Structure 1
Amino acid sequence: MSDMNVKNVKRVDSLDYLRGIAAFGIMIYHCFTWGFGGFSPDSFMGKWGIYGVSIFYILSGLTLHYVYFDNMNFTPRDLKKFFLKRFFRIYPLLWLTIILTIILNQKMPSLPGLLLNLTGAFGVLKWHSYIGVGVWSIGNELVFYLFFPVFIFLSKKSKFLFFCLSAILLLIFLYFAFFKMDASLSLTDNEQWKMYVNPLNQVFLFLSGYLMGMFFRRYMFSKFWTISILLLSLLVFILYTPVSSNLSAGINRIILSTLSFLICLSFYKSTLQVPVFIDKVLKMLGEASYSIYLLHPIVWQLLYIANERLSLKLSMTTCVALTIVISTIVGYFNHKYFESFFVRLGKKVSQILAPDMPHGKVKYVQVK
């Protein structure tokens, strides 16, 4: 019989910090792009705007491994519990974003397109036909959830097959980077964007987070190592000059993805204590990151419409600043009252279907 007592898994605050920083950085990237034309590919924000999403994927794989590896087996009971919780975590805000986007755009999509988006099936069948800024990445995430139980099953039952699958996904990742993505074209090119948002182009990032949890879960790093890894990876990330404007093609993809992995690793193993105020702010951003990520384009569009129709004559700088502030506030309250309600509901439903059972503890080794 499998155990599924995930309620006692201790939250890793540092991962919330990074998740919040990534979401906030992507919001800044989008707002400045919409307001002032964006950032150059060799700037820090130009790179963060693309690889902030990669960090989300790595953190997703890592977090799911951390929460579920000891508590989940490839059984109907565990699979039902996992997918129910994921459904209540993802779909309510996804539906809200899609509905608000349709209302603001005043354009009804085709019935098949609407059904693909509302069911999340677009991630598998037509990943570039999404409704709402950023929704493409949620479609990718839903595809990763289909891979995740397979990762759990193979890594527990057959390490050989698991590493064979890992090698295949790595080769697919490299195939997209060096053969499907064109270094001479930017991601603004429609065909390049379709290639980029393909979940097969991104799934290895999710797997790398899972592998991080698998190989490093039993180790505790000293502050020297975590700070060193973070500072060095950030320094290289900032100073690295892309060999082409397409940050997701060729060697750019390999170097920037590796640096994203190292940044996640440094936060995962961090034991650094931050001041209480900063801790609360970063935790708030982390908890509200999903809302901030999906809702800031809605806030921007509402401000744009209000500015035009009410003749407010707000400067672009004011619109950018208001979007950032309002999105953060809306994200916080949306998480507290909307997201959290459905998360609790999902836990109740899954608990009825499969009550939690106790499980063992993990031992750790100190890395000096």
Structure 2
Amino acid sequence: MTEIKQRLLLFDILRIIAISMVIIHHLYKLPMFPFFGIETLSLGKAGVIIFVFISGALLYLSKNEFHGTPDILKFYYKRTLRIYPALWLSILMAIIFYPDGLKQQTLESMIVQLTGTVVYNKTVYGMYAVLYNQMSWFVGLIVPFYIAYPLILKFIKNSPYITLFISIFITVFSTIYFHRSINIGTPETYIMYFVFGMFIAHMGLYNKTVNTDKNLIFVSDLAFYMFLTNVIIIGHLEYNTVMFFIALPIYSFVLMKADNLVKSKIDYILNVLYSYVATKKSDVIY
């Protein structure tokens, strides 16, 4: 199995549910949603857990075999292209629309946001509220899973139940012993959800109904970009509820289109460079 050729209804629906939970969790800041205690419902945390679970399951369904180092490097390249251009573009768009925010940034805070390592930097994490893209912390959560994926894949194939148990132990132990909340966003507190997604895919314990609804597919694809941008919009629109619901889909759609364009250009340039280098090596050999 190399690539998913069909969209599965289950994961498209789960992705839409996840982004809805994340947005609702942040809506308590908006005037139209003064629900008592909505910020304590942990809907955002649950939404992130679903995103992590989906990532594990879909990675297994799209790439569950590696044939040597080149295959692993290609996997890393695709994952990098999936995450970082979108993150960088979201920050760039925020700077374009809200240039005054640069006054609150330091070189360290910008580097941390661009690399997605917010939660690993205590200084920058302390100024979380003034970051251009607060959701950049998610990149620091998911990237370590991508890096470890080829190794976790070996374990899940050889000993699925033991691997799942170990991941549960790591999450529970790190949460209790180190007094960490899953809200912190470090990999050890989420690893069991990622592995559980892989486990479900490996064991075939998921609904295999194919999604043919183009509208549902579109919203599902847009969900990732809405995830990246919702906090940016909430903060910089001064919590204007009406404008938020107008701006979020538009902003996310523009980001998605820009991201797809940038990724295609990067992919094209790197393929041309690779072909050029391969040709040069071939000429040297002969």
TM over 0.5: same fold? yes
Letter paired with 1:145: Y
Aligned to 1:221: none
The verdict on how the C-alpha distance between 1:120 and 1:302 changes in structure 2, with shifts beyond 3 A counting, is: closer
Deviation at 1:142, TM superposition (A): 0.9
The AA in structure 1 aligned to 2:184 is Y
- Deviation, 1:53, is 0.9
Aligned residue-pair number: 264
The 10-residue stretch of structure 1 (133-142 or 30-39) with the greater mean CA deviation from structure 2: 30-39
Give the corresponding residue for 2:185. 197
How much does 1:147 deviate? Answer: 1.7
User: Which residues in structure 2 correspond to 1:329-344 (within 5 Å)?
Assistant: 329-335=250-256, 337-344=257-264
Q: By how many angstroms is 1:348 displaced?
A: 4.6
Structure 2, unaligned runs of 5 or more: 276-286
Q: CA deviation at 1:280?
A: 3.9
Task: Point out where structure 1 has 5 or more consecutive residues left out of the alignment.
Answer: 182-191, 218-267, 305-315, 355-368
Q: Label 1:299 to 1:170 Cα distance change in 2 as closer, same or farther (>3 A).
A: same
Measure the CA separation in 2 of the matches of 1:105 and 1:64.
Answer: 36
1:16-27 maps to which residues of 2 (within 5 A)? 16-27=12-23
CA contact (8 A) 2:136 2:228 kept: yes
Alpha-carbon shift at residue 331 of structure 1 (Å):
1.4
Question: Are 2:23 and 1:12 aligned?
Answer: no
Once the two structures are superposed, residues 274-305 of structure 1 have per-residue CA deviations (whole angstroms, 9 ceiling, x without a partner) of xx8xx44432221111111111222223322x
Shift of 1:197: 1.8
Query: What TM-score does the superposition give when structure 2 sets the normalisation length?
Result: 0.76
Change (3 A) 1:65 1:194: closer
Query: For residues 117-196 of structure 1, what are the structure 2 equivalents within 5 Å?
Result: 117-122=113-118, 125-126=120-121, 129=125, 131=131, 132-156=133-157, 159-160=158-159, 164-181=162-179, 196=184
Code of the aligned partner of 1:288: L
Q: Which consecutive aligned stretches of 4+ in structure 1 deviate over 4 angstroms post-superposition?
A: 36-39, 162-165, 192-195, 345-354
Pairing 1:1-368 to 2, within 5 Å after superposition: 5-6=2-3, 9-35=5-31, 36=33, 40=37, 46-69=41-64, 72-73=65-66, 75-99=68-92, 100=94, 103=99, 105-122=101-118, 125-126=120-121, 129=125, 131=131, 132-156=133-157, 159-160=158-159, 164-181=162-179, 196-216=184-204, 268-269=206-207, 271=209, 279-304=213-238, 319-335=240-256, 337-345=257-265, 348=268
Q: Which residue of 2 aligns with 1:249?
A: none
The residue type equivalent to 1:198 in the other structure is T
CA distance in 2, matches of 1:68, 1:334: 26
Greater relative CO, 1 or 2 (CA 8 Å, sep 6+): 1
More helix by share: 2
Letter in 1 for 2:195: L
Cα–Cα, structure 1 residues 141 and 169, in superposed 2: closer, same or farther, change >3 Å?
same
Q: Residue by residue, what CA displacement relative to the aligned partner does 1:9-34 show, whole Å, maximum 9, x if unpaired?
A: 32224312321232133223212334
Asked if the contact 1:74–1:152 (Cα under 8 Å) also holds between the matched residues in 2, the reply is no
Contact 1:296/1:324 (8 A) holds in 2: no
Q: CA shift at 1:48, angstroms?
A: 2.7
Is the 1:29–1:38 Cα contact (8 Å) retained in structure 2? no
Root mean square deviation, CA, Å: 3.4
TM-score, normalised by the number of residues in structure 1 = 0.61
Name the CA shift for 1:139/1:180 in 2 (closer, same or farther; >3 Å).
same
Q: Is the 8 A contact 2:25 2:42 kept in 1?
A: no
Measured in 1, the distance between the counterparts of 2:35 and 2:79 equals: 34
Amino acid at match of 1:344: S
Return closer, same or farther for 1:349/1:24 CA change in 2, 3 Å cut-off: farther
Shift of 1:341: 1.9
